[in-house]
Chain A
Amino acid sequence: MQAPAGTAAIVYIFTSTECPISNRYAPEVRRLVDTFASQGVRFRLVYPDPADTPDAIREHVASFAYGERTEAFRDPEHALVKLAHATVTPEAAVFVNGRLLYHGRIDDRVVDLGVERPAPTVHDLGDALTAILAGRPVAHAETQAVGCYIADFKPWKQ
């Protein structure tokens, strides 16, 4: 949780190289980075699937054009997963000075597996970051994300 000087918040985005739901969120994550990185928010991609090798992650970051402002972390032991109470990919967790101020969905576009809105009506992660940067409390500090289950990403004997 060491944050470089000038960091207002750290956002962890739990993702996976082959989860189509989190992959479809890549442009929205990039948009959030564009909006908030200049205000001191750092974005980190977290790959909890042990099957996502460092090479696969590098390739994934490049092909989805996350760019250099978004660091990537492997989390095969699920240490960050536990810290952030993450259950699916994609899921966001926002830490400020080591405190978890928001975790859950990026927005409400995906309602359930197989059920999507054409466009989100609530931008939970963006709203949380706006509140944090303004020094206000986060209105909904916990939401239910929908996506690929991190429970499926546990190590197994080959």
Chain B
Amino acid sequence: MKFVVASILVVSVAAAADGLAQEPTYARDIAPLAADRCTMCHHAGGSAPFGLTTYSDVKRHATQIAQVTRARLMPPWKADPADGPFVGQHPLTDAEIALIDRWVTGGEAEGNISDAPRVQRWPDGWQLGTPDLVVSIPTPYTLQASGTDVFRIFVIPLPVDRTRFVRGLEFRPGNARVVHHANIRLDRTPASRQLDDADPGPGYSGLMLRSAQYPDGHFLGWTPGQIAPLVPKGLAWRLDPHTDLVVEIHMQPSGKDESVQPSIGLYFSDEPPTATPAMLRLGRQNIDIPAGTSRYTVTDSYVLPVDVDVEAVQPHAHYRARDVRGTATLPDGSTRTLIHIRDWDFRWQHVYRYVEPFALPKGTTLAMEYTYDNSTSNVRNPEHPPKRARWGQRSSDEMGDLWVQVLPRSEDDLVKLVRDFRPKVAAEDAIGCEMEIERHPSDGALHDDAAMLYLELSRFEDAIRHFRAALALKPDSAVAHYNVGTALTLARRLDEAAQEYQAALRIDPDYPKAHNNLASIWLSQQKYDDAIREFEIVVRLQPDSISALENLAAAYAAAGQPDRAAEIRARRDTLLRQKRPPE
């Protein structure tokens, strides 16, 4: 790929050398650059604030164009192009920037307009074709005229009646002037929707929940000028009924009230995928940057347990990050920079997709190193004067993640990778969760989240501590008692666990899971009568449950009542026959 980059450079230099002989003109020199690098956003109805498709357009912004190209603000491309090539990468060469500058200082001549490339027609509709499903928010959101950036999360149910496989998703901002980027996730639980419903007006303000996730290792999102291409059919991701899209939109007030109504088109395939990528998230949640510190470094790394192909990367940090870098060190000691952004700008949250995915062998170390400036010399610092900055999702907090999308070579390798990687993420999430709890000590849902993460990490005492904290906030909740009981059971503190299940049952006598777990404890302690009594209650409460009958039968068998056990098993078999679909 280096060869391709080099050849583009040669062509550009040649063009510039041509230009030296004669004054640059709009038609011959500037229009082709604009058509290639600018007009995909800068056209009528595009995401940029003005068009650059005609001579008068370009002339009306000429000084500005010279300035922003020289500063490499435009075209907006923050990553070092040498680490790609990345899809959609179209930086200007130094020679091209010099050419623009000479055109502007030299009088902005139009030239012979017939030399200019024909103005491309930009489709008004969907760039990826007609979607199979279009969803939107029911009523527009009104963005206030002034103030700092606004982040709003919209939860949109996806009306599918059967499992579909999704090849792509196109986000249309609805008001390109103010929508700066969109983070999109899927929530298979009703949790995000409940937050949206509880907040008056469209969407909700707050944080993305942990239940809102990328689907099957796929990036979803949008930045101006970036539309992720459809994936090959074999890589489509699974969409089940009762799933919600969770769309976090970053908006910048324009000076007047703006109406924002984004819509999203989905493109389906009927075939299940033949391969599934994995999303690896490097990053730390123990970030704690003292006020005034001008250089604070966050590092993280992970050793790949299987061979993979790297498809795409997305760095994420907030306003204090300055230099953002990801690397891969192969087992043979050679290194490859995955991405390097020397002047991090929170406002450009690209997914950087490699034109050609590349292989990394098992044993490769993926690493990230981000540096932050929390002093006054960082003008983007959200706090003035600077304040201590800790990890958190709010834009006034700080983050440091590097998402790496990889494609393992087989289903077995995918399972191996996910199993190996998951505890690392859970441990980091637990640290972040503790930080959130410090901020909101009486948020029971956060304590539940933390406890679940600790259960996953087999850190049962920590799980018990958090479930107990949630219980203290809701002492009348049967579920909260039950949760404490579960963690105590896993910690093998069975007597205390039994007390919690009994407390849950005093509040809700018809709580089958509490009866079931209590019965299991009695059974393990050979208290057969108690176990049988509890399992009988479960069967009464859940007459259609196969497992309830099996548990009851096992309890009778253990208690030395084989006839009764056989009788229960016969009931189970009858139920199984009823449940089996007709041949």
List the interface of chain A (C-beta within 8 A of B).
Answer: 18, 20, 23-28, 49, 51, 63-65, 111-119, 121, 148-149, 151-153, 156, 158
Instruction: Provide 7 A-B residue pairs closer than 8 Å at the C-beta atoms, listed in order of the A residue.
Output: A18-B50, A24-B252, A27-B147, A27-B253, A64-B255, A113-B64, A113-B67
**A119 smallest CB distance to B (angstroms):** 7
**A156 smallest CB distance to B (angstroms):** 6
Alpha-carbon distance between A118 and B254 when the two chains are bound, in angstroms? 14
**B151 smallest CB distance to A (angstroms):** 13
Closest to A156 in B: B59
B residues 159-199 near A (Cβ < 8 Å) are: 177
Contact of B73 among A51, A114, A148, A152 (CB under 8 A): A114
Contact of A23 among B149, B256, B381 (CB under 8 A): B256
Interface size class of B (residues with CB under 8 A): 20 to 34
- Supposing A20-B254, A114-B345, A117-B379 touch, asked if A27 and B60 sit within 8 A by C-beta, the answer is no
Counting residue pairs across A and B whose Cβ atoms lie within 8 Å, the total is 78
**B378 smallest CB distance to A (angstroms):** 10
Closest to A148 in B: B64
- Supposing A63-B256, A64-B256, A149-B63 touch, asked if A114 and B384 sit within 8 A by C-beta, the answer is no
A113 and B68 within 8 A (CB): yes
A118 and B255 within 8 A (CB): no
Chain A residues whose C-beta falls within 8 Å of the C-beta of B49 in the assembled complex: 18, 20
A27 and B145 within 8 A (CB): yes
B382 and A118 within 8 A (CB): yes
- Supposing A18-B49, A111-B379, A115-B379 touch, asked if A24 and B254 sit within 8 A by C-beta, the answer is yes
- Supposing A27-B145, A113-B67, A114-B68 touch, asked if A152 and B60 sit within 8 A by C-beta, the answer is yes
Alpha-carbon distance between A63 and B61 when the two chains are bound, in angstroms? 23
B421 lies within 8 A of chain A by Cβ: no
Supplied contacts A27-B146, A152-B64, 16 more A-B pairs, CB within 8 Å: A51-B60, A113-B64, A113-B71, A114-B345, A117-B379, A117-B380, A117-B381, A117-B384, A118-B381, A118-B384, A119-B384, A121-B384, A149-B63, A152-B61, A152-B62, A158-B56
Chain A residues whose C-beta falls within 8 Å of the C-beta of B145 in the assembled complex: 26-27, 64-65
A156 and B56 within 8 A (CB): yes
Most chain A beta-carbon contacts within 10 A, residue among B50, B56, B145: B145
B255 and A149 within 8 A (CB): no
Alpha-carbon distance between A64 and B345 when the two chains are bound, in angstroms? 28
B22 lies within 8 A of chain A by Cβ: no
B319 lies within 8 A of chain A by Cβ: yes
A24 and B73 within 8 A (CB): no
B380 and A152 within 8 A (CB): no
Alpha-carbon distance between A26 and B256 when the two chains are bound, in angstroms? 7
Chain A residues whose C-beta falls within 8 Å of the C-beta of B61 in the assembled complex: 148, 152
Closest to A64 in B: B256
A24 and B253 within 8 A (CB): yes
Alpha-carbon distance between A113 and B252 when the two chains are bound, in angstroms? 15
Closest to B345 in A: A114
Alpha-carbon distance between A51 and B254 when the two chains are bound, in angstroms? 21
- Supposing A152-B64, A153-B60 touch, asked if A20 and B177 sit within 8 A by C-beta, the answer is yes
Chain A residues whose C-beta falls within 8 Å of the C-beta of B319 in the assembled complex: 118
**A147 smallest CB distance to B (angstroms):** 9
A149 and B64 within 8 A (CB): yes
- Supposing A18-B50, A51-B60, A152-B64 touch, asked if A114 and B255 sit within 8 A by C-beta, the answer is no
Chain B residues whose C-beta falls within 8 Å of the C-beta of A28 in the assembled complex: 146
**A78 smallest CB distance to B (angstroms):** 14
Alpha-carbon distance between A104 and B254 when the two chains are bound, in angstroms? 21
Contact with A along B71-83 (1 / 0, CB 8 A): 1010000000000
Chain A residues whose C-beta falls within 8 Å of the C-beta of B255 in the assembled complex: 23-27, 64
Closest to B257 in A: A65
Contact of B380 among A116, A149, A158 (CB under 8 A): A116
Chain A residues whose C-beta falls within 8 Å of the C-beta of B345 in the assembled complex: 114
Alpha-carbon distance between A114 and B72 when the two chains are bound, in angstroms? 10
Chain B residues whose C-beta falls within 8 Å of the C-beta of A26 in the assembled complex: 145-146, 255-256
**B109 smallest CB distance to A (angstroms):** 11
Alpha-carbon distance between A158 and B57 when the two chains are bound, in angstroms? 12
B71 and A114 within 8 A (CB): yes
Alpha-carbon distance between A121 and B382 when the two chains are bound, in angstroms? 11
**B47 smallest CB distance to A (angstroms):** 12
Q: State the 6 A-B residue pairs at the shortest beta-carbon distance, nearest first.
A: A27-B146, A26-B255, A149-B63, A23-B255, A114-B73, A20-B49
B71 and A112 within 8 A (CB): yes
- Supposing A18-B50, A28-B146, A117-B379 touch, asked if A149 and B256 sit within 8 A by C-beta, the answer is no
Chain B residues whose C-beta falls within 8 Å of the C-beta of A63 in the assembled complex: 256
B334 lies within 8 A of chain A by Cβ: no
Closest to B383 in A: A118
B574 lies within 8 A of chain A by Cβ: no
**A51 smallest CB distance to B (angstroms):** 7
B148 lies within 8 A of chain A by Cβ: yes
Chain A residues whose C-beta falls within 8 Å of the C-beta of B382 in the assembled complex: 118
Alpha-carbon distance between A27 and B253 when the two chains are bound, in angstroms? 10
Closest to B376 in A: A121
Alpha-carbon distance between A115 and B346 when the two chains are bound, in angstroms? 11
Alpha-carbon distance between A117 and B148 when the two chains are bound, in angstroms? 9
Alpha-carbon distance between A153 and B177 when the two chains are bound, in angstroms? 21
B residues 102-149 near A (Cβ < 8 Å) are: 145-149
A65 and B67 within 8 A (CB): no
Alpha-carbon distance between A42 and B1 when the two chains are bound, in angstroms? 61
Contact with A along B14-41 (1 / 0, CB 8 A): 0000000000000000000000000000
Alpha-carbon distance between A116 and B347 when the two chains are bound, in angstroms? 11
A152 and B256 within 8 A (CB): no
Contact with A along B296-319 (1 / 0, CB 8 A): 000000000000000000000001
Chain B residues whose C-beta falls within 8 Å of the C-beta of A51 in the assembled complex: 56, 60
Chain B residues whose C-beta falls within 8 Å of the C-beta of A158 in the assembled complex: 56
Alpha-carbon distance between A118 and B253 when the two chains are bound, in angstroms? 12
Closest to B60 in A: A152
**A114 smallest CB distance to B (angstroms):** 4
Chain A residues whose C-beta falls within 8 Å of the C-beta of B384 in the assembled complex: 117-119, 121
Chain B residues whose C-beta falls within 8 Å of the C-beta of A116 in the assembled complex: 379-380
Chain B residues whose C-beta falls within 8 Å of the C-beta of A153 in the assembled complex: 60
Chain B residues whose C-beta falls within 8 Å of the C-beta of A117 in the assembled complex: 379-381, 384
Alpha-carbon distance between A18 and B380 when the two chains are bound, in angstroms? 25
Contact with A along B215-248 (1 / 0, CB 8 A): 0000000000000000000000000000000000
**A145 smallest CB distance to B (angstroms):** 14
Closest to A65 in B: B256
Alpha-carbon distance between A121 and B71 when the two chains are bound, in angstroms? 24
Closest to A19 in B: B49
**B326 smallest CB distance to A (angstroms):** 23
**B92 smallest CB distance to A (angstroms):** 15
